[in-house]
């Protein structure tokens, strides 16, 4: 029989302070602006700096997904109304 081992893991933590990152906006291939965050790999606070940049990237990705979902839902609603109008006209 397998041995069951119980362990406590470290609690998740937030980024402590905003690191001194280099934040620049560059043009992407499709002529859109993209924010690039860079951190110093030799920093004494690399772990917390990396966590901060990661959370900012996740926040931006979630916001982008939300806006795309809203646009998709709006387009679907318009298409449904057009189909309903065509059904009324044809009957």
On whether the pTM is more than 0.75, the answer is no
pLDDT reported for residue 44: 84
Euclidean distance between CA atoms 43 and 35, whole angstroms = 21
Mean pLDDT by 10 residues, the chain (91 residues): 82 69 78 82 84 86 85 73 71 61
- Residue environment code for 34-50, b if the CB has 16+ CB neighbours within 10 A, otherwise e: eeebebeeeeebeebbe
Q: Per DSSP, what are the bridge partners of residue 36? A: 24
Q: Where are the domains of the chain?
A: 22-90
pLDDT reported for residue 7: 83
pLDDT reported for residue 91: 61
């Amino acid at each position: 029989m397998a041995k069951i081992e119980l362990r406590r893991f470290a609690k998740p933590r937030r980024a402590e302070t905003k690191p001194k990152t280099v934040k620049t906006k560059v043009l992407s291939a499709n002529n859109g602006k993209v924010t690039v965050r860079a951190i110093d790999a030799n920093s004494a606070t690399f772990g917390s700096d990396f966590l901060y940049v990661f959370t900012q990237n996740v926040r931006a990705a979630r916001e982008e997904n939300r806006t795309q979902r809203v646009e998709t839902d709006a387009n679907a609603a318009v298409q449904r109304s057009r189909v309903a109008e065509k059904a009324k006209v044809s009957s």
